[in-house]
Amino acid sequence: MTKQEALFNYCLRLADTSLILAQRNAEWCGHGPFLEEDLALTNLSLDLIGQANSIYQYAAQVEGKARNEDDLAYHRSEREFLNTLIAEQSNGDYAKTILRQFFCDTFDFYFYAELVKSKDETLSAIAEKSIKEITYHLRHTSSWVERLGDGTEESHTRMQDALNEIWRFTGEMFEMNEVDTILIKEGIAVDLNSIKSKWESKSKEILDRATIKIPANAFMQRGSREAKHTEHLGFILAEMQSLPRALPDAKW
Amino acid sequence: MDANFEAKLARNENIEPKDWMPDIYRKHLIRQVSQHAHSEIIGMLPEGNWITRAPSLRAKMVLIAKVQDEGGHGLYLYTAAESLNISREELLEQLHTGKAKYSSIFNYPTLTWADIGAIGWLVDGAAIMNQVMLQRTSYGPYARAMVRICKEESFHQRQGYEITCKLAAGTKEQKEMAQDALNRFWWPTLMMFGPPDAASSNSENAIKWKIKRESNDQLRQRFVNQTVPQAELIGLTIPDKNLEWNEAKKGYDFSDPDWKEFNNVIHGNGPCNRERLGARVKAHENGRWVREAAIAYAEKRKQKAAAYQ
Ligand SMILES: [Fe+2]
Ligand SMILES: [Fe+2]
C-alpha cells in the first residue's frame, strides 16, 4: 500500500463515519422529544455532514481520479464504506441515540485534538475547525447521558439497556491496520492507542455519573476496517444514494 | 383604557404584553400566532422527509439548515404566543387534539426531490407575502419575531428557486420532475392566502386591529404577479389555462383554486393530515419520558444543592 492509498483510505474512514452518523441523527428531524432538542440534534447532524464534506473533498483530491465529494458519498457500495459500526446502528429510543453520539463525540474529541498536530496540513486544518463543534457536541451529549441515566426509573432503565446494546461496538473504534502504520510513520495519522485510555476514563466518568454500568466481559464486534458491516448499512445507503443512482447523468 | 388601546393603534404604535388589550384581540392573536408556530413545526415534516435522500452533500446541508430554521421560527413564535399568557404545553395540546389549525399546505406530500424546490420557491415565497406585512403587525412580540423570520424566509425562497432552476435546466427526467412539482404545488400554494375576501370571516377584524394590513386577495394577486415571470424564465408552465396578463389592472388574471378541496384539507381530509398530526403526537408521546427525566434530574440536583447548604 502506498502512502497515497493509505491517506485516501484514512480520509474515507473519517468522512464515512461522520456522514453515516449524520444520516442517522437526521432521521430524528421533526420527531425529537421536544423542539429545542430536535433542533440540537439537527444541528449536530449538520456539523457532521460539513465535516464529512470537507474530508471527502480532500479524499477526492488525494485520490486524483477526477471523482468529487458527491461521487465518494453517493457512488460507493456497502463493501467500500469504512464508517465505524457504531455509527450505523439504528436510532432506537432517545437514550440509544444520545449514548451512541456520546461515545462518538468522546472519540472525536480526543481524536481531532491529536489530528490538529498532523503533518498533513489539510487534515490539521479540518481538525482545527471541527474541534470547536465537537467540544460543544460532547458537552451536550454527556449532559444528556447523565440526565437520562440519573433521571427517572424509566429513563435509567432505558439508558442501561442502550449501554448493554451498543457497548459492543465501541472497541473497534480504536482498531488500527496497515493504513495507520504507514501514516503514523509519516506523522499524519493519530496513534489510536494514545487516545484509548482518555476515551475510557471520560466514558467511565460520565457513565458513573449517569449511574449506569458497563456490561461485564462484553464481546467486541469488529469489521468496519475491512468494510464488513452490520446489516444496517445497506439500507442507509440504499436510501441515501437512491436519487443519484437512479439518474446518474443528472447534476443536482 | 380601551381608548388608550385604540389610540395606540391609530398612532401605529405596538401593543406590548403588559399593555391592556381587549380579550377578543388577545384571543385572535393567540389563534393566529400559535397557528403560525404550529405551521412552522408541521412544515418541518414534508421537507424533513427528503433530508436522508437529498441528492448531493451540499443539497443535504442546505435542506437541513432550512428545516432547522423553520424549527427556530416555531420557537420564536411559541415564545411570542406565550407572552399572551398561554403555555407551550397548552398550545401543543390544542394542536394535538385538532383544536388549533396549521397551514393546510403541509398536508400535501413531498413525492419527489423537485417538491423540495417547489416548497422553497412557492410555499416560502407565499409565506413571505404574508410575513412581510406582519413585520408591521400591531402586536410587538409578533412583529419582532417576524422581522427575524422574514430574513430567513427570503433566503429559503431563493434556495428553493435555485433547486427548481437546476432541475429545469437538467436532464429530461429532472425537467419533468420540476414541472410536475409546480403542477401539484401551484394550487395549494394559492390557497395558502386563505379564502376569498368575500368569504373570510376573520379578515375584517384582523385588518381593523392592524394585525393584518392587506387582504387575502390582494396578497394572492401579488404572489401570482411575482411568480409567473419566475416560472417563465426557466421554461416552466403555470398549470392554469386562464392565466393572462391584464394590462388594465397591471396584474395577471388567473383561475380560482378549488375551494372545495381547500375545505376538505382544512377539515382533515388532505392527503397527509393524519400522517402529519400523527407524527407530531407520536413524537410528543415518545418524548414524554425524556422530558420527565430532565425534570426529575433537575429536581435531584436542586435537592442535593440544598442539602449542602
Ligand atoms: Fe419558517
Ligand atoms: Fe421557510
Mean pLDDT by 10 residues, chain A (252 residues): 97 98 97 96 97 98 97 98 98 98 98 98 98 97 98 98 98 98 98 98 98 94 97 98 97 94
Amino acid at B18: K
A251 reaches B (C-beta below 8 A): yes
Residue B203's pLDDT is: 65
CA distance A196 to chain B (A): 30
Cross-chain CB nearest to B51 (options A26, A36, A148): A26
Residues on B contacting A at a C-beta cutoff of 8 Å:
41, 44-45, 48, 51-53, 55-61, 64-65, 67-68, 71-72, 74-75, 78, 113, 166, 170-171, 173-174, 279, 282-283, 286-294, 296-297, 300
CA distance A242 to chain B (A): 7
Q: Evaluate if residue B130 carries a pLDDT over 90.
A: no
What does the pLDDT look like over B30-82, one tens digit per residue? 999 999 999 999 999 999 999 999 999 999 999 999 999 999 999 999 999 99
Q: How large is the greatest C-alpha to C-alpha distance in chain B, in angstroms?
A: 79
Please state, in angstroms and rounded to a whole number, the distance separating the CA atoms of residues A204 and A196: 12
Q: Which of A25, A55, A247 to probe the B interface (max B CBs under 10 A)?
A: A247
Residue B207's pLDDT is: 73
Q: Evaluate if residue B19 carries a pLDDT over 80.
A: yes
Q: Which CATH superfamily is domain A3-246 in?
A: Ferritin, core subunit, four-helix bundle (1.20.1260.10)
Q: Where do the domains of chain A lie? A: 3-246
Q: Evaluate if residue B143 carries a pLDDT over 60.
A: yes
Hey, which residues does B253 pair with through a beta bridge? Answer: B244
Query: Which 63-82 residues of chain A touch chain B by CB within 8 A?
Result: 69-70, 73-74
Ligand in nearest proximity to the CA of B70: 1
Ligand in nearest proximity to the CA of B154: 2
Residue B307's pLDDT is: 87
Please state, in angstroms and rounded to a whole number, the distance separating the CA atoms of residues B159 and B121: 7
Q: Which of B66, B110, B289 to probe the A interface (max A CBs under 10 A)?
A: B289
Q: Is B85 helix (H, G, I), strand (E, B) or coil?
A: coil
Hey, which residues does B252 pair with through a beta bridge? Answer: B245
Residue B161's pLDDT is: 98
Give the least confident one: B162-171, B201-210, B212-221, B227-236: B201-210
Please state, in angstroms and rounded to a whole number, the distance separating the CA atoms of residues B182 and B221: 18
Q: How large is the greatest C-alpha to C-alpha distance in chain A, in angstroms?
A: 55
Q: Which of A76, A243, A245 to probe the B interface (max B CBs under 10 A)?
A: A243
CA angle A96, A101, A105 (to 5 degrees): 155
Q: Evaluate if residue B214 carries a pLDDT over 80.
A: yes
Q: How many residues are there in chain A?
A: 252
CA distance B66 to chain A (A): 11
Q: Is B66 helix (H, G, I), strand (E, B) or coil?
A: helix
Q: How many residues are there in chain B?
A: 309
Residue B279 CB neighbour total at 10 angstroms: 18
Please give the torsion angle defined by the CA atoms of residues A208, A211, A217 and A218, in that order, rounded to the nearest 10 degrees.
Answer: -100
Q: Evaluate if residue B1 carries a pLDDT over 70.
A: no
Q: How confident is the model at residue B201 (pLDDT cuts 50, 70, 90)?
A: low
Q: What is the Cα A66 distance to its own chain's centre? A: 26
Please state, in angstroms and rounded to a whole number, the distance separating the CA atoms of residues B186 and B122: 7
Searching chain A, which residue's CA lies closest to the CA of residue B61? A46
B-chain residues near A70 (CB < 8 A) = 56-57
pTM of the model: 0.95
Residue B73's pLDDT is: 97
Searching chain A, which residue's CA lies closest to the CA of residue B288? A33
CA distance B39 to chain A (A): 12
Cross-chain CB nearest to A23 (options B52, B61, B293): B52
Distance from the CA of B257 to the center of ligand 1, in angstroms? 24
Q: In this complex, do A26 and B41 lie within 8 Å of one another by their Cβ atoms?
A: no
Cross-chain CB nearest to B68 (options A34, A43, A49): A43
